[in-house]
Amino acid sequence: MADIVSIRPLRRRRLAFPVAALAAVTALACWGAYRWAEADARTALTLNGDQRLGLYASSIRNAVGRYDYLPFLVARDHEVLGLLDRPSEALRDTVNRRLETANAAAGSAALYVVDRSGLALAASNWADPAQSFVGQIYDFRPYFRQAVEAGSGRYFGIGVTTGLPGYFLSHAVHLADRLIGVAVVKIDLEPLQRDWAAGGERVLVTDQNGIVFLSSHADWKYHALRPLPDAVKARLAQTRQYDRSEVMPLGLHDGPVMENGARLVSLPDSVPGGSRRAYLMQELALPEFGWTIRFLSDLEPVKAQAAGAAVLTAMGLLLLVAALALGWQRRHALRLQQEARAMLERRVEERTAELLTANRVLREAQEELVQAGKLAALGQMSAALAHEINQPLAAIRTFVASTRLLAERGETAMVRDNLAMIGDLAERMAVLSGHLKDFARKGPARVEAVPVARTMDRALALLAPRLREEEVRVEQAIPPEAHVRGDAVRLEQVFVNLLRNAADAMNGSDERRLILTAARTAEGWEIRIRDSGTGIAEAHQFQLFDPFFTTKEVGQGLGLGLSLSYGIVRDFGGTLRAENNPDGGACFVVQLPEAQPSDAERGPR
* Domain-located, residue 224: no
Q: Could you say which of 138, 157, 187 is where a domain stops? A: 187
pLDDT at 403: 87
Q: Using an 8 Å Cβ cutoff, are 513 and 532 in contact? A: yes
pLDDT in tens, 487-501: 887 888 889 889 988
Domain shared by 382 and 428, yes or no: yes
Q: How far apart are CA 381 and CA 441, in angstroms?
A: 9
* Domain-located, residue 372: yes
pLDDT in tens, 279-288: 888 889 999 8
Domain shared by 391 and 485, yes or no: no
Domain shared by 544 and 572, yes or no: yes
Residue 506 sits at φ, ψ, to 5 deg, of -95, 5
Strands (E), 116-246: 120-123, 152-158, 165-174, 179-187, 202-206, 212-215, 223-224
* Domain-located, residue 101: yes
Q: What does pTM read for this prediction?
A: 0.48
pLDDT at 570 over 50: yes
Q: How far apart are CA 422 and CA 142, in angstroms?
A: 71
Beta strands 248-249; 223-224: pairing state? parallel
pLDDT at 332 over 50: yes
Our count of domains for the chain comes to 3
* Domain-located, residue 152: yes
CATH code (residue 138): 3.30.450.20
pLDDT in tens, 420-476: 888 887 876 765 554 344 333 344 567 889 999 999 988 887 777 788 888 899 999
* Domain-located, residue 457: yes
* Domain-located, residue 77: yes
Q: What is the mean pLDDT of residues 504-519?
A: 89
* Domain-located, residue 365: yes
**20-29, 111-120, 163-172, 266-275: least confident range:** 266-275
344 exposure class (CB count in 10 Å sphere: 0-12, 13-18, 19+) = middle
Q: Could you say which of 443, 467, 484 is where a domain stops? A: 443
Residue 165 sits at φ, ψ, to 5 deg, of -75, 155
Q: How far apart are CA 150 and CA 172, in angstroms?
A: 8
Q: How far apart are CA 94 and CA 70, in angstroms?
A: 18
* Domain-located, residue 78: yes
Domain shared by 437 and 466, yes or no: no
pLDDT at 3: 53
Q: What is the mean pLDDT of residues 161-177?
A: 89
pLDDT at 268 over 50: yes
CA quadruple 583, 586, 591, 592: dihedral sign? negative
Give the helix/strand (H/E) hosting 474: strand 473-477
pLDDT at 123: 95
Least Cα distance to 207 among 286, 282, 153, 276 occurs for 286
Q: How far apart are CA 244 and CA 460, in angstroms?
A: 63
The conformational region for residue 210 under phi > 0 = left, psi -120 to 50 = alpha, else beta, is left
Residue 162 sits at φ, ψ, to 5 deg, of -90, -20
Q: What is the mean pLDDT of residues 574-585?
A: 90
Q: What is the mean pLDDT of residues 88-102?
A: 93
| DSSP-based three-state secondary structure for 338 | helix
pLDDT at 8: 61
Q: How far apart are CA 425 and CA 452, in angstroms?
A: 17
Domain shared by 428 and 469, yes or no: no
Q: How far apart are CA 396 and CA 22, in angstroms?
A: 68
pLDDT in tens, 40-61: 877 888 888 888 888 888 988 9
Q: Could you say which of 443, 469, 497 is where a domain stops? A: 443
Domain shared by 422 and 477, yes or no: no
Residue 2 sits at φ, ψ, to 5 deg, of -65, -35
Domain shared by 360 and 496, yes or no: no
- Three-state SS letters, 81-101: HHHHHCCCHHHHHHHHHHHHH
Q: What Å distances lie between residue 472 and 39, 458, 461, 515, 555, CA to CA?
A: 60, 17, 13, 10, 24
Domain shared by 166 and 105, yes or no: yes
Domain shared by 383 and 401, yes or no: yes
Angle, alpha carbons 559-582-68 (nearest 5°): 75
pLDDT at 605: 42
Q: How far apart are CA 365 and CA 246, in angstroms?
A: 71
Q: How far apart are CA 413 and CA 23, in angstroms?
A: 85
Q: How far apart are CA 132 and CA 175, in angstroms?
A: 26
Which residues fall within 8 angstroms of residue 498, CB to CB, at 6 or more apart? 529, 565, 588, 590
pLDDT at 241: 82
Q: Using an 8 Å Cβ cutoff, are 60 and 53 in contact? A: no
CATH code (residue 580): 3.30.565.10
Least Cα distance to 280 among 302, 270, 265 occurs for 265
Which residues make beta-bridge pairs with 283? 294
pLDDT at 365 over 60: no
Q: What is the end-to-end Cα distance of the chain in Å, rounded? A: 82
pLDDT at 545: 75
Q: What percent of the chain has pLDDT over 90?
A: 26
Residues of the domain holding 579: 448-592
For helices 390-409 and 341-388, what crossing angle results, to 10°? 50
pLDDT at 389: 64
How sure is the predictor about 343, in pLDDT bands with cuts at 50, 70 and 90?
confident
pLDDT at 183 over 50: yes
The conformational region for residue 239 under phi > 0 = left, psi -120 to 50 = alpha, else beta, is alpha
pLDDT at 128 over 60: yes
Let me know how long the chain is.
605
Domain shared by 92 and 134, yes or no: yes
How sure is the predictor about 271, in pLDDT bands with cuts at 50, 70 and 90?
very low
Which residues fall within 8 angstroms of residue 65, CB to CB, at 6 or more apart? none
pLDDT at 15: 66
Q: How far apart are CA 98 and CA 126, in angstroms?
A: 11
The single-letter code of the amino acid at 448 is E
**Of 131 and 393, more confident:** 131
Domain shared by 452 and 400, yes or no: no
Domain shared by 409 and 484, yes or no: no
| DSSP-based three-state secondary structure for 131 | coil
